[in-house]
Structure 1
Amino acid sequence: MFNRILVTVVVAVFIALLGIGIIVPILPVLATTLGASGFALGLITAAFSLSRGLCQPVIGSLSDRWGRKGFLVAGLFIYGLVGLLVPLADSVAHLIVIRLFQGFGAAMIVPVAMAYASFLSPPGEEGRYMGVINVAVFCGIGCGPVLGGYFADNWGMASVFHVMAYLCFFAFILVWVNMPSCCPVDRRQQVGLLENIGLMLRRRRTVGIFLARFATVLMMVPTMAFLPVMMAGWPGSSGLQTGLVIASRTLMNAVLQYPFGALADRFDKVVLLLCGSLCMGVAVVLIPSMTHLGAMIGMYLFLGFGEAVLWPVLGAYAVEEGRNLFGHGTMMGVFNLAMSAGVFTGALLAGASMDALGMRHAFWATGGAIVVLCALAAYLIRSGENAGEIGEKKAGGPGSSSSV
């Protein structure tokens, strides 16, 4: 049954993220046609991250208590509905409201899927299992922009959002039909969400994991939302070309997730964290210097390589903390809250930097922040482990109550 659960979750996540990735090269262009400034582009992304971030810990904790299937199907249905609503937006304000609603749905998809994989992963194979989920995430996001650019070039922007809706509704049906309604597991006593968060914040190792998760997504707005605007100024640029650039990064990430997940299970995770963050920071700083399609694809491949080093490492850390201390859903909810906080912060800072100093400075500031914050995160993780914070549950400490 567990194999069927994992396969279904992976397929559903891939389909859902394929639908989500389709709109990546199109949404910023749609927003600019509605009069969005650089700050407004950042705010559209920030709205999504805000609602998703605030809801993820609550939904993760509830999924430990009530089961995960209901949350997953609800999130997929909301995403499908958003695909039907976006083409109807006639102002930037409408897009922001729709993205807030979309963020609520997103809080029920990837964190819950990660909680499934977290529970199913045997000790010592955390990186591999989280790599499998990440393959689905990045393959979906990577293939989506290519399809989105193709549909936009041939049938208009509205068709892209309709395809997104159909894909998400298909994934909704897949999970509804194929997943067991309830599979009770791990009935240990669980403390409340706020008490768990308080314990997390008292552990240097856990804070370091969250800080690294926060830092590594600061570049989402410059590298995703600003790229279509940057490439739109190139002679002969098309939506398909923008999709190819974005896809090169995410597909590189996807191809390397499983082997790098195995590497994370065997090698020093702190060293991998530092190496991956340095690659990411250098790539982000150099992106605005690229002036033609081939060079931009090469730089995005390098960025995807750096991410592929980092993501299984951070996922494996989160699995260890969730299994031994906080509960799988609760840990993944707060773990992804840190990601949403990073996207939200990066969106506002990058948008403001672009309006005040220009697009190039937004990339420079973001690249520097990634390297500095990840170095601090590595220090916190290592010092916490040296102090005995190795993720082992103390007697009488908080456990988890989860149901698949």
Structure 2
Amino acid sequence: MKKDNILLLIAVFLLIFGTYITGAILTPYAKSLGASGISIGLISAALYIVRLFVGTPIGKLSDKKGILSVLKYSIIMYPFTALIYCFAVTIPVLIFARFTHGLASAMMLPMVMAYIGQISPLGKEGFYMGIYNTANLIASGIGPQTATILASAYSKKSCFVVSLALSVISLLIVIALHKSKTLNSENKNSITIDSNSNTKISSSKLLTNHRLLALSSINIASAFIITLISFFFILFTPQKSISLVFTGFLISIYNVVGGFAQIPMGKFSDKFNKCNLVLFSGIIVSLLLILFPYINNLSLMISLMLLLAVVSAAFVSASSALSTILGRTVGMGSTMGFLGTANSVGMVLASVFLSVASDLFGLNSLFYLSSAVILICTLLFAFFWKNKKDEATSKLKNASTKIIQ
């Protein structure tokens, strides 16, 4: 990967880092403004609601106008979004900031994945996507801790100020890269199976592409894992007599270890059958989640979380590599945009289902429910991925059967 591409990824990492800093402080900050439960729910969901509706259209737009063009516009939006957060002293303004943030992230996150897919050499899709996944997971691991430190040492609003500073630095990096005119949007080793399909894929064709539906099911499964660990795990640990400090440590283990495992797991997925890796790792993740309610020892809980982080890394890296390969036939932007929409659907469903399950059946049920959803989604992936009816699948298989497996 060339220096300019690495600098762009650094700019993106800073934005993701700032997003997790902001997200970690949103609920207590909203409460300090007198937000009701409904308002807090709307603030939390606003980002995913926007991404749910605009993800696919933005992906299709990027295939027509260029992935880098959409990505650069999203990075320009981030400082303005952070500025709105800084001046958000009422609930309506805070909700507006969250909606704006949703639009910016819908333009940025899938486009980063599309860009990496575009520059990834043939046969190294897992390694290149692993770089992005590493940055994302590490940012999610250290962002919340940074937010708590800033809020304790200064104020909750200082988190928004730091996020603004990070977004400005990111923008300056992109401006410098734009002036240098050396940023590569393609890689000579990457391939496009059908150059004409990128700008002519309709929404109906996206919805009937079996392998895109297969990967969408994996994105929904991943959303359940993220929601369970990031938002509900903190409610589960007190019944195991685990302190808040160690709970944060366990969540950090999952994010940071999972992040560092992405690159080696990406390399591993490049050498073996990616479809089977997704299938086996998904089943193992499902089984591991069932064990959590039965673990009462902190050391065993740490070991289980470490194992979950590594297996989840294999699950994500292999599916990310497959999305890159599929993007070469469907359109890279359209693929990542559609999968971004699927992820938002998963986040909304996970938040609703896990909330209801915790009230009706208790906190242990969250692990059983998540395990069942992940297992079902994994089996759906296997079913749809091996379906050979759609045109894009045939082209992809004929072009690179060995690599796609």
What's the TM-score once normalised by structure 1's chain length?
0.82
Q: Which amino acid aligns with 1:80?
A: P
Q: Once the two structures are superposed, what CA deviation does each residue of 1:232-260 show, in whole Å capped at 9, x if it has no partner?
A: 8999956x766543322111121111111
Distance 1:8 1:170, change over 3 A: same
Q: Give the 5 Å matches for 1:4-153.
A: 4-31=3-30, 34=34, 37=37, 43-86=42-85, 89=88, 95-153=94-152
**2-structure distance, mates of 1:334, 1:216:** 15
1:316 aligned residue: 321
Q: Partner of 2:121: helix, strand, or coil?
A: coil
Q: CA deviation at 1:127?
A: 0.9
2:164 aligned residue: 165
Q: CA deviation at 1:342?
A: 1.0
Q: CA deviation at 1:355?
A: 4.1
Q: Which amino acid aligns with 1:322?
A: G
1:259 aligned residue: 264
Question: Are residues 1:188 and 2:187 paired?
Answer: no
Please say if residues 219 and 343 of structure 1, whose CA atoms lie closer than 8 Å, have aligned partners that are also in contact: no
2:393 aligned residue: 389
Q: Which amino acid aligns with 1:164?
A: S
Distance 1:234 1:394, change over 3 A: closer
Q: Which amino acid aligns with 2:116?
A: A
Q: Which amino acid aligns with 2:322?
A: Y
Q: CA deviation at 1:378?
A: 1.7
Q: CA deviation at 1:308?
A: 0.5
**1-structure distance, mates of 2:76, 2:293:** 37
Aligned residues: 390
Q: Which amino acid aligns with 1:281?
A: S
Q: Partner of 1:18: helix, strand, or coil?
A: helix
Question: Are residues 1:371 and 2:375 paired?
Answer: yes
Q: CA deviation at 1:311?
A: 1.4
**2-structure distance, mates of 1:235, 1:223:** 17
Distance 1:209 1:184, change over 3 A: closer
Q: CA deviation at 1:90?
A: 5.8
1:211 aligned residue: 217
**2-structure distance, mates of 1:331, 1:119:** 12
Please say if residues 64 and 198 of structure 2, whose CA atoms lie closer than 8 Å, have aligned partners that are also in contact: no
**2-structure distance, mates of 1:248, 1:289:** 20
Question: Are residues 1:347 and 2:351 paired?
Answer: yes
Q: Partner of 2:396: helix, strand, or coil?
A: coil
**2-structure distance, mates of 1:75, 1:262:** 30
Distance 1:158 1:235, change over 3 A: farther
Please say if residues 55 and 107 of structure 1, whose CA atoms lie closer than 8 Å, have aligned partners that are also in contact: yes
Q: 2:230 is matched with which residue: 218, 221, 224?
A: 224
1:399 aligned residue: none
List gaps (5 residues or longer) in structure 1.
396-404
**2-structure distance, mates of 1:156, 1:234:** 31
Please say if residues 63 and 198 of structure 2, whose CA atoms lie closer than 8 Å, have aligned partners that are also in contact: no
Percent sequence identity is: 24
Q: CA deviation at 1:387?
A: 11
Question: Are residues 1:271 and 2:276 paired?
Answer: yes
Q: CA deviation at 1:291?
A: 6.9
2:402 aligned residue: none
**2-structure distance, mates of 1:368, 1:262:** 29
**2-structure distance, mates of 1:250, 1:335:** 21
The RMSD of aligned alpha carbons is 3.5
Q: Which amino acid aligns with 2:256?
A: L
2:331 aligned residue: 327
Q: Once the two structures are superposed, what CA deviation does each residue of 1:212-238 show, in whole Å capped at 9, x if it has no partner?
A: 122221233332233455668999956
Distance 1:143 1:315, change over 3 A: same
**2-structure distance, mates of 1:73, 1:17:** 15
Q: Once the two structures are superposed, what CA deviation does each residue of 1:196-222 show, in whole Å capped at 9, x if it has no partner?
A: 433333332232122112222123333
List gaps (5 residues or longer) in structure 2.
187-191, 400-405
**2-structure distance, mates of 1:369, 1:236:** 27
Please say if residues 220 and 346 of structure 1, whose CA atoms lie closer than 8 Å, have aligned partners that are also in contact: no
Q: Which amino acid aligns with 1:361?
A: S
Q: CA deviation at 1:298?
A: 4.5
Please say if residues 115 and 185 of structure 2, whose CA atoms lie closer than 8 Å, have aligned partners that are also in contact: no
2:342 aligned residue: 338
What's the TM-score once normalised by structure 2's chain length?
0.82
Distance 1:391 1:190, change over 3 A: closer
Distance 1:197 1:317, change over 3 A: farther
1:401 aligned residue: none
**2-structure distance, mates of 1:78, 1:294:** 44
**2-structure distance, mates of 1:343, 1:99:** 16
Please say if residues 260 and 312 of structure 1, whose CA atoms lie closer than 8 Å, have aligned partners that are also in contact: yes
